[in-house]
Amino acid sequence: MRVLGLDFGSKTVGVAVSDELMMTAQGLEIIRRQSPNKLRQSLARIEQIIEEYHVERIVLGYPKNMNNTEGERCEKTKEFKEMLERRTGLTVVLWDERLTTVAADRLMMETGVRRENRKQYVDEIAAVFILQGYLDSLAFQK
């Protein structure tokens, strides 16, 4: 079984996928869109990835505030979750994504990625952190 990890942003969706043993997450791509409300092409691409990798579950980053409150981004994420469930028929798990973007940015700094190049990778790496956190929690439950 494979799991898809998504970092849903206002103009991008970072995408990661697990290996078949559900032990590791690998970054796939960043889906970009022109407008925050133009989701049709993003959803279509996600469906292609689901089919290509035989994905059986989706983990969607849930952007809670640091004080554990839910803001406007959480509402948009819940709406996206409902769209994903309707279109794919798969279970979509919301996963706390606090600090994943910070961790992704820090990783790129430590590995020498230039500041001007980080933006093009940060969402994909954040999706990897979201999915890996979920996979690690499953392993810990065993």
Domains of the chain: 2-141 (3.30.420.140)
d(CA 59, CA 78): 12
Instruction: Return the pLDDT at 137.
Output: 87
Give the DSSP H or E segment for 107.
helix 100-110
pLDDT digits (tens, 9 = 90+) for 51-80: 999 999 999 999 887 777 778 888 999 999
Instruction: Return the pLDDT at 138.
Output: 87
Contact 27/124 with Cβ under 8 angstroms? yes
Contact 95/130 with Cβ under 8 angstroms? yes
Examine the pLDDT at 21 and tell me if it is beyond 80.
Answer: yes
pLDDT mean across residues, the chain:
87
d(CA 103, CA 80): 24
pLDDT digits (tens, 9 = 90+) for 115-135: 666 666 777 888 998 999 899
